[in-house]
Structure 1
Amino acid sequence: MTLRRVGLWCVFLVKLVIVIARCGDGYCKCSEVRKRATCSSKQRKLNYFPALPPYIKQLTYRDNYLPHLNRNMVVNLTKIKLEQLYLNDNGIFKLDANTFKDLNSLVKLDISRESLLKSEVVAKALHHVSRSFERLVLQHNKWDTIPSNMFDGLQDSHISYIDLSYNNLHSFNGTEVLRLIPRVKYLILNNNPISQSDFDFHNMAYMFKLSLENTYLQKVPNFCDDKGSSFLPRLRSLYLGHTSLRSVTMEDFKCLPFLWKLSLLFADITVIPNNTFAALPVLETLILESVIRLRRLEYLALNSTSLQKLQFGYAKFKFDDKGRYNNELFKFAPNIRDLDLTSNSISTGSILKTLLWHLVRLEKLNLQGCGLNYLARGTFDRMARISVIIMKGNNLYGWDPTIFNKLTYLQKLYISGNNIAVVNRSSLDFTRKIRLQEIDLSNNPFSCTCQLLWFRDWLKSTKNLTVALYPHRYFCRSPPAWNKKLLISFNYTAEDCREKNPWVWIGSFLGSVLFLCIVVIILIYWHLPTIRNIIYLIRLRRKGYVRMVNSSDYLFDCYIVCCESDESWVLQTLLPKLEEELFYSLCIPSRDFDLGGNIADQIIEKMQESKKIILVMSNEFAQDEWCQFELARAQERIRNQGTEAVVIIMLRDIDNRHMTSAIKELLRKNSYATWVTGTIVIQLFWNIVLAAIEKPFGNPPVAVL
């Protein structure tokens, strides 16, 4: 920046400070850009309207002292083209009828929080506002009634907006109050104790928006006259939120032919009957947020071909309970483009897939905090137009690599705050095939092991894609040495992750002087699995075991969890021994799962049909995403039935860099059998496995440290 530019900036800042300092005798803050001023004073010292710059069009005058407001006091405001005047909490109790007569440009007047001011006094002052006047706000004035002549003075104006919120109005009579201004388009009556019987909708034929939120309504008001015609034939928006509405039916809305937005926010409705919204032919937006008392959606509850936006968040509706709704709920609202299901219960991917199947025109989907634990393959395949998917705060451990491949218009994907520990190359391969602009994977419990090297490098190198909240919201959660450290600081290299022989390093460090010690350590290490197996078997036999009972309650004796590379050992060694020799019934996914079926659903089903679960562990097991999913289900079984529900076989030891926190915690609390070769030790191994399988529930073995 040149010295000339610096000088110009200094001059500009000095002028700006001077302008602000001189605005309204020091009581006001003015913005030339926004053309507005705010005047307030400590201890209410300001009791007049100071002169303001000519560019000011909006004035907020609050927390001052104006007990008597008259025409002479606003003379300074006549020198500017004031369009909007806000008078809030100024202690006004007297207002002359001609006070606003000279404010010829006034379009909006807000007189709020003036509890000493009577509505009758304001009514007289409204007779002298300009003909261009359009908007009137009278909030927080503690008025109990509105005089029948309240708005008579606005007859020749362009008044279209009236806000009477936060008063103490028990009724509103359109026949009297609006008789001379029937062309009002916006009427806001929020936070008044109005009930249905105290409302008269006459003289509202031109009404576009009616808001009755936080009133005492217990049922939808009658919008039909005695002849069945509509009181509000042009109504576009209706707000009935935060009321005590206990029911809604098709009859409630039949006289609102042009309604396109309906809000039932926080209503107390428990059931939405068939065709409730079918009588609204142009309804586009339906707000059902926080209807926490809702228990049932009937088959045609959402029948509306015009509906484009549905806000159903925070309703705590249990979609997991299929008795509360029909699977084809959205079949009759096929044109929905924006769907918000935040904080409802949709725990399984298969339920979600079925629920969304008919929404082929969906463009935005919000599934935040729904408790999702997995995504079924093909869930989004039919949503060709979708551009935003939000799945924050769920229980996802990962996703199928192909699940987003067909979403060519997807621009933003948010999966923060889940249980994702490892992200590999295949998980993010879809980012090269679609138009994704932003992805959010923050606040996940990343496992900073060798499996995360690719993802760490990808985060640092990606340029054409915005990674939201990176790096300050990407933390390691395991192993313990890296807990709560930023992922960007994870400094493992490819060299660190190569397999190394620890004895070479020990031998070079200790040298020939410690040769004998090394030999002893090697011998102990070599036979450590056998020693561990012997201790495990002794403990099992000391506690005793008996043949399993009630096996008829299960289809299988054991469910086998193993990765693909260890499957040959299962089929060639474990299966012949347990099935063919000992006559146990085993469930092996590659053999017993249905082809083409949903893998996650079958895992959950088969585990429930098996009395015990056998985990075959190795380095490859720790890296396999499906194995981690099955491990999570096995840990849930342990919490429900005790440690005897799971039999752990250590086929090959797991290296520290592959050890996740979940596996480490499991091995710390549970004993396991280690696979070794040799005639005697192999028999010892099978004795342990048999004892562990036969051990009844409720008497957990002590873990070997």
Structure 2
Amino acid sequence: MNVLWHKINPTICGKMEMCFCSLGIFTFFFTLNGLFFPTAGYVLKDCWITRHTQAICKPIGRTLNVFPKDIPARVTTMDLSVNKISKLNNTDLEDLPNLLHIDLTENRISEIESGTFAGQISLEVLILNKNKLRKLKKGIFDGLVKLTMLGLTHNKIETVAPTSCKSLINLKFLDLGHNKLHHLTNYQQILQQMPHLQTLHVGANNISTFNSWELSNKPTELITLDLSQNELLVFVLTADIFPKLTKLGLNDGIKNGMVWEMNDTSHLIGISELDISRVHSSLDGLQEVLETFNSSLMNLTLNHMKKTLEILISISCKIPSLTSLTVQHNSIRVISSDMLHLCSNVNELDLGHNKITNISDESFQSLRQLQILVLMFNSLSSVPYAIRNVSTLFKLDLSFNRMRLHDCEDFANMKSLRILFLNNNHLGALKDCVFRDLVNLKNLQLPNCSIRKLNGAFINTMPNLQVLNLSNNQLTVLDQGEFKALKSLQNLTLDGNKLSKLKSGAFHGLSNLRYLTLQSNKLKETQIKNKVFRDLKGLKSLNLMSNHIKYKSAELIPKAPFAELSKLDTLILSGQHGRFGAYLPQNLLKGLTNLSTLNIRSSHLMYMHPHTFNYTPNLKVLSLSSNDIADFVHGLFSPIQKLKSLKISHASLQSLDFLLHANLTELKFLEVRHNAFSGIRETVLQSLPALEYLDIKGNSFSCDCDKAWFLQWVITNKQTQVFDAYNFECNSPPNLKGKKLLDIDIRSCAVDMGFICYISTACAVIMTIAVSFTHHFLQWHLVYTYYLMLAFLYNSKHKNKRAHQYDSFVSYNAKDEGWVLGELLPKLEDEQGWTLCLHHRDFQPGKSIMDNITDAIYGSRKTICVVSRDYLKSEWCSREIQVAR
């Protein structure tokens, strides 16, 4: 690319004056030229690094077609999913020896060259799901001796070479589901190469025959085997190859007339979890399958069944070891008293995603060990009476029904209940007695229940409750002591309500509360008072996002609202509605001595008082993005020297100079995207020695020579990653507008400076040598020339202005003085009446000789030179005659 910067910044040119001093300085400058650009950051073209060693390669607005080449060698995790990479070359990974995990899901990979993974001796997880592989060739995975997980689902694999997996000696998880495998002929040799394989998925592969001898001729380590969606016609198990198998997936895989052959049922004696959903077999065939697991089966899934479900449930529940039964998506409308009467050993029953409207009162009477009951996504209008007598329930899920709480007996006798989901029902107003028997409940979920009033439902009940979710309801007011019985509550969620008033003492009794969410309500600053939060001594996280909290001034407020929350770690005040009065009182954060995270983004702040952070010395994460603060006052960030992450994007910042004196020596993450500055001063980055991640995307960059150091720093440093730097565009000068910042050739700036320094220094050296030579050999000629010049100037200035004092100046040698005084002087002065100027009598004492000569010559009308041999030998006489001439 052509060199394009023609103007040199005045600051740089000023520094170049040093180059004129001497040849020594010239040499010293170029010796230190390598230190001219800071060497402390780095930038990747198509990826960015998170957590120091994780590379995410998903370019914004485009996708990768080839494997990226600029990944640091220290990277251990790579996410290359959802790109368009079509081939892995054997050189793609050669510079990444520390990789542990690589995800290539949803690309277009159809070929992997031999030796691609030869150097990946540390790789543990390789995910190639949703690509276009058709064949696993010989040696394709060579080098992956530590690989434990391999994902190949949703490809087009038809064949697997017998030696393709010979290096996978430590593999534990292999997913080959959703491919085009038709038989398991080659799997015996493959499994022998993977002696520690525990999970094998070959579902949805059009495998019609399963013969144990095809898979292995000796016991395996398999724990999970998924054969689902394969339309099996034959399942033959003649050897004990699954001594450790506990989970078998056959859903949508058992077809009508399937041959189920097993010479010894003990071959599957360890199976505890079985899925036979979507079966297309006769009841007799299913019964034959189930009888195989008569002594070990614990978890059975019967989803999407089309046969006589009640009979199948009865058959299943006769298995004495069965403890968990899932019967979803079966369009059940009524649970009769007989449907579950044989399930006496079941302790987990999932009847979700059906159409249940009625449950017989005696339906669960025989389930004396039932602990978990799931009835979500049904059409129940009230809490079934049948569950009132199930005193053993630990978890009850009634979410997504059409339920209302009618009386105080809805949850009678449920003293063992620990988890209750009632979300997405239409409960309306609660009753004070509705939860009175739930004395041991720990988790209560009530979001999206249209609750308008609590009516004291939590004043005298549930002393052991730890989690309460009341989000997205219709609450408008919290009365005093509304939760006072919840002594053990740790997490309270009230977001998405219509709360506009918090009465004093609303959180009384919640001394153990750790997390409080009040997001997306209608709270104003008048409701955020000290008295409201004073009972929350142990609070660690407070979310007040998206309310109407707005202050009209940064002046002190009488009582700081969070003064009692000394243990608060996280405070979220972002997204406050309303554009006016966008200030923070200078003492708003008073008392928050342990605050670590503060988020005040999108709150239309226009100014922050310099004392704002005086109360938060331990702040580590701060977000001020999307506000209207164009600049920050001096000293604002000085009290928070432990800050590690700072976000001020979309804030109209004109520069980052406010960071110069902030002393943020521990700052690692800086996000200032979409502001109005054209560059960053070198001193700003020097003031952030720990910076690891810099996001300045979306600013208006100026591409002139004073930014050359920044470009060099972005490209060469190895500490600070500049996010998406390859997409930065120049906004000025006009001839470069729209060009990529990192495409600029900065060598022009460096070459121009070196050339100018060379010329300047060379000239200085030549001049020094010339002056020295002239001074040594032509010293008197220079003096003579100097005085001739003075005489010329004097003559030009005074020749028409000054009257002559003498008739003639007599120039003679001292050795001829006798003749001048004895012969010349009497003739001219006595006889002719001339006035002569003689140096021994008329020169002024104290004046230089040359000045006296010049004044005498120009003060006389004529000059008489007494020329003799001694006169011609005299240097001064020669000067006199030259000046006179």
Task: Describe the SS at the equivalent of 1:275.
Answer: helix
Contact 1:124–1:153 (8 Å) recurs in 2: no
Name the residue aligned to 2:626: 369
Name the residue aligned to 2:334: 94
Contact 1:140–1:167 (8 Å) recurs in 2: yes
Q: 1:485-509 deviations in whole A, cap 9, x for unaligned?
A: 33222234334884999xxxxxxxx
Aligned-pair distance for 1:263? Answer: 1.4
Contact 2:582–2:605 (8 Å) recurs in 1: no
Count of residues in Structure 1 that have an aligned counterpart in Structure 2: 476
Name the residue aligned to 1:103: 346
Q: Does 1:307 align with 2:547?
A: no
1:465-480 map, 5 Å: 465-472=720-727, 474-480=728-734
Q: 1:98-141 deviations in whole A, cap 9, x for unaligned?
A: 646443467755432212x45455x5268669x5x643322211
Name the residue aligned to 2:485: 231
Match of 2:202 among 18, 23, 27: 18
Task: Describe the SS at the equivalent of 1:457.
Answer: helix
Task: Describe the SS at the equivalent of 2:477.
Answer: coil
Name the residue aligned to 1:438: 693
1:524-603 map, 5 Å: none
Name the residue aligned to 1:425: 682
Match of 1:136 among 396, 407, 421: 396
Aligned-pair distance for 1:341? Answer: 0.3
1:669-684 map, 5 Å: none
Task: Describe the SS at the equivalent of 2:699.
Answer: coil
Q: 1:306-334 deviations in whole A, cap 9, x for unaligned?
A: 32211111114668655xx6321112333
Task: Describe the SS at the equivalent of 2:471.
Answer: coil
Contact 2:300–2:324 (8 Å) recurs in 1: yes
Quickly say closer, same or farther: Cα 1:109–1:35, change in 2 above 3 A: farther
Q: 1:575-598 deviations in whole A, cap 9, x for unaligned?
A: xxxxxxxxxxxxxxxxxxxxxxxx
Task: Describe the SS at the equivalent of 2:747.
Answer: coil
Task: Describe the SS at the equivalent of 1:162.
Answer: strand
Name the residue aligned to 1:277: 533
Contact 1:268–1:292 (8 Å) recurs in 2: yes
Amino acid at match of 2:377: R
Match of 2:714 among 450, 459, 469: 459
Name the residue aligned to 1:240: 494
Quickly say closer, same or farther: Cα 1:357–1:69, change in 2 above 3 A: farther
Q: Does 1:114 align with 2:378?
A: yes
Contact 1:69–1:96 (8 Å) recurs in 2: no
Between 1 and 2, higher relative CO (CA 8 Å, sep ≥ 6) is seen in: 2
Task: Describe the SS at the equivalent of 1:354.
Answer: coil
Contact 1:67–1:90 (8 Å) recurs in 2: no
Gaps of 5+ in 2: 1-114, 119-137, 143-162, 169-173, 177-186, 188-199, 208-225, 232-243, 254-276, 350-370, 756-885
Name the residue aligned to 1:287: 543
Name the residue aligned to 2:516: 262
Contact 2:664–2:687 (8 Å) recurs in 1: no
Task: Describe the SS at the equivalent of 2:575.
Answer: coil
Contact 1:165–1:188 (8 Å) recurs in 2: yes
Quickly say closer, same or farther: Cα 1:128–1:219, change in 2 above 3 A: closer
Task: Describe the SS at the equivalent of 2:611.
Answer: helix
Amino acid at match of 1:280: L
Q: 1:625-653 deviations in whole A, cap 9, x for unaligned?
A: xxxxxxxxxxxxxxxxxxxxxxxxxxxxx
Q: 1:35-68 deviations in whole A, cap 9, x for unaligned?
A: 8989899xxx948999899999999988x47899
Q: Does 1:210 align with 2:468?
A: yes
Query: Larger C-alpha radius of gyration, 1 or 2?
Result: 2
Distance in structure 2 (CA, Å) of the matches to 1:263 and 1:38:
44
Distance in structure 2 (CA, Å) of the matches to 1:211 and 1:68:
40
Of Structure 1 and Structure 2, the greater helix share is in 1
Aligned-pair distance for 1:224? Answer: 5.6
Distance in structure 2 (CA, Å) of the matches to 1:48 and 1:294:
64
Contact 1:440–1:467 (8 Å) recurs in 2: yes
Distance in structure 2 (CA, Å) of the matches to 1:278 and 1:396:
37
Distance in structure 2 (CA, Å) of the matches to 1:58 and 1:489:
61
Q: 1:434-490 deviations in whole A, cap 9, x for unaligned?
A: x22222222222122223222111111111222233334x23233344444332222
Amino acid at match of 1:314: G
Name the residue aligned to 1:486: 740
Amino acid at match of 2:399: Q
Distance in structure 2 (CA, Å) of the matches to 1:500 and 1:469:
32
Amino acid at match of 1:334: T
Distance in structure 1 (CA, Å) of the matches to 2:447 and 2:378:
18
Contact 1:240–1:265 (8 Å) recurs in 2: yes
Contact 1:38–1:61 (8 Å) recurs in 2: no
Gaps of 5+ in 1: 502-705
Quickly say closer, same or farther: Cα 1:442–1:383, change in 2 above 3 A: same
Quickly say closer, same or farther: Cα 1:482–1:312, change in 2 above 3 A: same
Aligned-pair distance for 1:367? Answer: 0.9
Contact 2:551–2:585 (8 Å) recurs in 1: no
Contact 1:377–1:403 (8 Å) recurs in 2: no
Q: 1:655-676 deviations in whole A, cap 9, x for unaligned?
A: xxxxxxxxxxxxxxxxxxxxxx
Q: Does 1:186 align with 2:443?
A: yes
Quickly say closer, same or farther: Cα 1:105–1:200, change in 2 above 3 A: closer
Task: Describe the SS at the equivalent of 1:73.
Answer: helix
Identity %: 19
Distance in structure 2 (CA, Å) of the matches to 1:219 and 1:176:
20
Quickly say closer, same or farther: Cα 1:214–1:75, change in 2 above 3 A: farther
Contact 2:435–2:457 (8 Å) recurs in 1: no
